[in-house]
Amino acid sequence: MSDVSSAPEQQTRWESAYDGAPRPRPNGHRPPSATVWPGSPQPLGARHHIGPGGVPGTNFALWSAGAEAVEVCLFDEAGNETRCPLTEHTHEIWHGFVPGVLPGQRYGYRVHGRWDPWTGSRWNPAKLLLDPYARAVDGEYALPPEVYGHVRGWPQRHLSDTVRDEHDSAPHVPKGVIVESALGAGADAGDEWIDDRRPKVPWADSVIYELHVRGFTMRHPDIPPELRGTYAGLAHPAAVEHLTRLGVTAVELLPVHQFAHEDHLLRRGLRNHWGYNSVGYFAPHAAYAASGTRGQQVGEFRRMVRALHEAGIEVILDVVYNHTAEGNENGPTLSLRGIDNRGYYRLADDPRRYADYTGCGNTLHVVQPQVLRLITDSLRYWVQEMGVDGFRFDLAAALARAMHDVDMLSPFLAVIAQDPVLRRVKLIAEPWDVGAGGYQVGAFPPLWTEWNDRYRDTVRDFWRGALPDVRDLGYRLSGSSDLYAWGGRRPYASVNFVTAHDGFTLRDLVSYERKHNEANGEGNRDGTDDNRSWNCGTEGETDDPEITALRRRQLRNLLTTLLLSTGVPMLVAGDEMGRTQGGNNNAYCQDNETGWVDWSLLAEPGWRALYELTARLITLRRNHPVLRRRAFFSGRAHGPEGLRDLAWFNGAGEEMTGADWHAPGATLGMYLSGRDIPQRDATGEPVTDDSFLVVLHAEGEEGSFRLPSPPWGQAYELVVDTSREDQETEPGTVHPAGEAVELPARSVLVWRVMY
């Protein structure tokens, strides 16, 4: 077989030898055409409005730099297609106004151009393409062979992506739906809340709760069955009540952009549950709508946001702008690949291939102005018309790459920093990708917060007894100043977490040392092997009461550590009540009870107690500004008594020395002074608070700790003891300064300082 360079000359011979089913040519039989007026190149997408002469219709505008022709395809209820050629071409944007096209109309694009994969050109008008700006999508992707731009079954498999497939994909793909703008005529009553009724929770006061719209609501007994798994289900009072009683200030929703299921999952009878496979950056995922998919999902999503806002809860979206569901050169042709492959994607040195910084087959070409425009237009849409309060950017380092290297002066970060809408919302980076130099924890500029995996790893290692000393733990507990104390960044730049959707649940973290992902159908090869977990002596579930008690104590230790650390804590839905995935640390394809929250756990006293402790810790955090500081600790002496705003103590009740920090140790005392908070209230008065002493003891045996003597405190009132399942302490339980108190094995004790 000749090499790739000779392949173009062989394509004609291969096509003539094709012995598959007849392939209808798009230039053969043509569906009827509709009247198209010139329209406007702005804005991009399909926008319904009143056109010339007072005639209602829809303006279509699509960017495609190298296309030779573009057709808008309209579909009636029976699936019959009407094609509307867009003959106007302004600044690489194809556009036209089609009279009489109203909201609810289903549509797609056919884009004509060269088929030349060796130069990155993959136009194929046989494939109906989703509008990148579609506000709603009707239908789901099943991914039969007709949806692929190339012949999947070509005999020379290594070259199959170079042979164009002529089968019509329209009967097999979802359609975009024209939707009335929420800010235009026909908007719902009460839309004004979007701008002036947001909770606007300061970063330092935030407690994030990562949840999956479907997984959170599917098994909730108080949500009506017809609403489970939907936006309306999350807006239901039963769901909102759980969030408000817990005390979280924001929900971080796993991807809700329209996404597609991967072919390899569908062939195994599975589905993409998490949704990190986006195909429509403006459309709420239609499968999460209870009210319908012909545009109704837009209103349902907005009503969900409104309900959460009215409860004081912000909405943050986990967004996937680093890659799309089209995958590599062997993936389906759904949207961007067929519109302008070279314009939308980063191609490799061999332009037939894709540069893959994401591990998902492709990477969006964010340096390209129109791609950057697509992303920022999408972000502004979700803020201004859908009402969301912020974004968590999946693999954000891929977006920050200039031509190849990650660059914190990249176009994407520069545009966000100056955008009058986006610079005001919450911005969270997952600060890494899979490319060279992609690990960027601590490197993102001001305005950005980051998922801090250094926090996750250190806390996990401490409680499983794997830290060589406590130096790193001190940094993580106090806001990770070693990572974030530069450029005007604050402690809340660190989003602290112990678990996330990706990995073990909190309960599994103390129950399994090995992943158990057999149900994913990949031979248990998927998912990380670096779990930093400890099963407390037995792998998996057990009836042993001692192991069960130890595991629950470890859960209390981990939650208490997280919620009392400086920075922004993030919980994962269900961790507060012992949700398990049976040891699956990569449940991305488990759209079933493995991936859904089990609400029956709240009926069990032990798990209910864990929920109550979590809520109590969040309340403690909310009531005490010393636990949610807006500035880093100085560590310097303040006031006439020479006390520091942050001090560290060893088990003898003495301040830590350099030798103590470097010595092996499983006990650390942290003193937080509420008298030295560099913060003023709204009237300019200094903010003061109680002081607290937190002692973390990870040793498997009991220990002792001598409470610091004056001037640190006169006495200490115990407020949290994780060795106890029931956290109610006796009124007036006070220990005098200088007393040596018992530290139960593997416990966190928290005292309020009395002067």
- For tokens 């954000």, the residue is 396
- Residue 538's contacts (CB-CB under 8 Å, 6 or more residues apart) are 544, 547
Summarised one tens digit per residue, pLDDT across range 607-651 is 999 999 999 999 999 999 999 999 999 988 877 777 899 999 998
Please report which confidence band the pLDDT of residue 403 belongs to, taking 50, 70 and 90 as the band edges.
confident
Asked if the peptide bond before residue 711 counts as cis, ω within 30 degrees of 0, the response is yes
- Per DSSP, the three-state class of 548 is helix
Q: Count other Cβ atoms within 10 Å, centred on residue 105.
A: 21
Note the CATH number of domain 45-178: 2.60.40.10
Predicted confidence (pLDDT) at residue 479 exceeds the cutoff of 90 = yes
CA torsion, ordered 740, 741, 746, 747, to nearest 10 deg: -130
User: In Å, how far are 79, 138, 147, 607, 608 from 31, measured between CA atoms?
Assistant: 12, 21, 20, 61, 62
Distance CA 180, CA 187 (A): 8
- For tokens 């000749």, the residue is 2
Half-sphere exposure of 646 (CA within 13 A, CB side): 19
pLDDT at 190: 44
pLDDT at 360: 95
pLDDT at 731: 52
Summarised one tens digit per residue, pLDDT across range 235-245 is 999 999 999 99
pLDDT at 196: 65
Predicted confidence (pLDDT) at residue 11 exceeds the cutoff of 50 = no
Average pLDDT over residues 53-59: 96
Active site residue 394: yes
Asked if the peptide bond before residue 43 counts as cis, ω within 30 degrees of 0, the response is yes
Tell me what the pLDDT averaged over the chain comes to: 92
pLDDT at 636: 83
pLDDT at 31: 65
Q: Where in the chain is the domain with CATH 2.60.40.10?
A: 45-178
Catalytic residue, chosen from 385, 394, 472, 690, is 394
Predicted confidence (pLDDT) at residue 159 exceeds the cutoff of 60 = yes
Please report which confidence band the pLDDT of residue 402 belongs to, taking 50, 70 and 90 as the band edges.
confident
Average pLDDT over residues 100-112: 97
- Residue 280's contacts (CB-CB under 8 Å, 6 or more residues apart) are 130, 132, 134, 137, 176, 257, 258, 259, 335
Distance CA 473, CA 741 (A): 23
Q: Count other Cβ atoms within 10 Å, centred on residue 155.
A: 12
pLDDT at 362: 97
Instruction: Tell which wins on pLDDT, 683 or 639.
Output: 683
Q: Where in the chain is the domain with CATH 2.60.40.1180?
A: 635-754
Please report which confidence band the pLDDT of residue 10 belongs to, taking 50, 70 and 90 as the band edges.
very low
Predicted confidence (pLDDT) at residue 185 exceeds the cutoff of 90 = no
Task: Tell me if 489 sits within 8 A of 481, measured CB to CB.
Answer: no
Average pLDDT over residues 442-447: 96
Using the Cα atoms of residue 413, residue 417, residue 418 and residue 420 in order, give the sign of their dihedral: positive
Please report which confidence band the pLDDT of residue 32 belongs to, taking 50, 70 and 90 as the band edges.
low
Active site residue 430: yes
pLDDT at 91: 96
Summarised one tens digit per residue, pLDDT across range 495-549 is 999 999 999 999 999 999 999 999 999 999 999 999 999 999 999 999 999 999 9
pLDDT at 681: 87
- Residue 124's contacts (CB-CB under 8 Å, 6 or more residues apart) are 115, 149, 164, 165, 333, 338
Structural class in CATH, domain 635-754:
mainly beta
The region that residue 437 occupies, defined by phi over 0 for left and psi between -120 and 50 for alpha, beta otherwise, is left
Predicted confidence (pLDDT) at residue 383 exceeds the cutoff of 50 = yes
Using the Cα atoms of residue 233, residue 236, residue 241 and residue 243 in order, give the sign of their dihedral: positive
pLDDT at 696: 98
Average pLDDT over residues 476-495: 97
Percent of the chain residues past pLDDT 70, beyond the cut: 93
Predicted confidence (pLDDT) at residue 106 exceeds the cutoff of 60 = yes
Average pLDDT over residues 335-342: 98
Catalytic residue, chosen from 146, 262, 430, 717, is 430
Strand 257-259 to strand 278-284: parallel, antiparallel, or no bridges (unpaired)? antiparallel
